[in-house]
Chains A and B, each alone.
Chain A
């Protein structure tokens, strides 16, 4: 097998990698925003509960979580597909990390912003929705892009729960050809080819944050 053939063979798993990444982001972004906002506003028991939830997803091993949800839950009658488990575990893990950036971004906003909104007669939720979150999320674009890249790379782990992603394909090919050097450097190249454009996109977004923000925030 030539190197090109190996790379093309590995890229057959790209759709699974993309699928897990996409659904992972669907978990990550809402969880990050919701958890970050709730942690910012809650006090007492509510804050303790949301912090515990964030820490559960943040301070546990992703690979162990994958095993737990994929292999242990069926014992309790809950059967989830491998894609569903992979996307949820990776997504909520990335989301838990990002939630801390959301909270920090909200906390770093000038108090005068909230006061100006309240003084105009907006309620607290409207101030959050129209004044604080748009500014906080704009600050967070670089962090979100970073987390997205981490998520793509993290999807390699789903090969351990039977999904035919790029890493799984590489292992399959390795078993039939016994050419680990070419195969794993090919795999490396494949992840680089997927992730580097995202890095470039992130850099572009960072540079044009102002413009993007302006477009996003048009009322």
Chain B
């Protein structure tokens, strides 16, 4: 296994040098510790503009930590992360500007309960991008229509179902016109009958060419929209492949075992 990984890392470096300007996200040798627990172990990964990436793996494998590093909700201890040409460093200036280009959708939705659906969507437009109220409302309504929930704009999050809340959260992120969207297990907290409405919105987004990194166990979604599937375990990337190969003919035993458990 060791020589293989070294080889892949060299390949990644070459790719990096060639594609530096075209890469949406560039992750090189990133490690991260929580106390003595190593959450990420020299992870390298590149995401091209317009690419749809699905990350899967058992819980505790570091997949959430990895995408949370991409918008620095977690800081990395080692390695390099470049997002839309800007290298991310702990305590850097201009981090808020980088984050405006990176939308994130959380497992627990994290809508603001004290604000209406519309105000949830316009908050960052008005307070971060300083867009006037009317213009911000117009952008928000556009995005809410896109996720088929415009008629609920005046309601409060607690009045909506989980699936509706998650669609609002997607609209909220889209309002900032992000270049990259991160999805951190967006359907894991949903009742089964609400998963589809959220996946439909994500699929539509993918078809429009949005750069997406999705941590998810929805293998149907991965098969349909992913350009590449990445499998992580114990803080490291074990395998990455196009979905057809990943599901049809995985190389590693650990991947096979994981997929078998997932598909029963």
Contacts and interface: CB of A to CB of B under 8 A. Distances in A.
Given A121-B176, A135-B114, A219 B133 contact: yes
22 contacts: A112-B106, A112-B110, A113-B112, A116-B112, A119-B99, A119-B102, A119-B104, A120-B100, A120-B173, A121-B98, A121-B101, A121-B124, A122-B124, A122-B128, A123-B128, A126-B128, A135-B113, A217-B115, A218-B119, A219-B123, A219-B126, A219-B133
Given A112-B108, A113-B110, A122 B73 contact: no
A118 B106 contact: no
B172 interface: yes
Interface in B108-133: 108, 110-116, 119, 122-124, 126-129, 133
A120 B115 contact: no
A115 B124 CA distance: 13
Given A115-B73, A130-B123, A121 B114 contact: no
Interface of B: 71, 73, 96-104, 106, 108, 110-116, 119, 122-124, 126-129, 133, 156, 172-173, 176
A121 B99 contact: yes
Given A219-B122, A219-B133, A122 B127 contact: yes
A138 to B, nearest CB: 7
Interface residues of A, number: 23
A134 interface: yes
Q: Which among A113, A116, A117 has the highest number of chain B CB atoms within 10 Å?
A: A116
Nearest to A216: B114
B73 A119 contact: yes
Contacts of B172: 120
A119 B173 CA distance: 9
A214 B156 CA distance: 9
Q: Which DSSP category, helix, strand, loop or mixed, fits chain A's interface?
A: helix
A65 interface: no
A195 interface: no
Q: Which among B99, B102, B103, B156 has the highest number of chain A CB atoms within 10 Å?
A: B99
The 4 closest A-B pairs by CB, nearest first: A121-B100, A120-B124, A116-B110, A112-B110
B119 A219 contact: yes
A131 interface: yes
A217 B114 CA distance: 7
B93 to A, nearest CB: 11
Q: Which among A110, A113, A218, A219 has the highest number of chain B CB atoms within 10 Å?
A: A219
B12 to A, nearest CB: 27
A214 to B, nearest CB: 7
A130 B176 CA distance: 17
Q: Which among A119, A130, A131, A134 has the highest number of chain B CB atoms within 10 Å?
A: A119
A110 B108 CA distance: 10
Contacts of B97: 121
A218 B119 CA distance: 8
Contacts of B126: 219
Contacts of B115: 217, 219
A119 B169 CA distance: 12
Interface string A70-108: 000000000000000000000000000000000000000
Contacts of B128: 120-123, 126
A66 B172 CA distance: 52
A217 B115 CA distance: 7
A134 B114 CA distance: 7
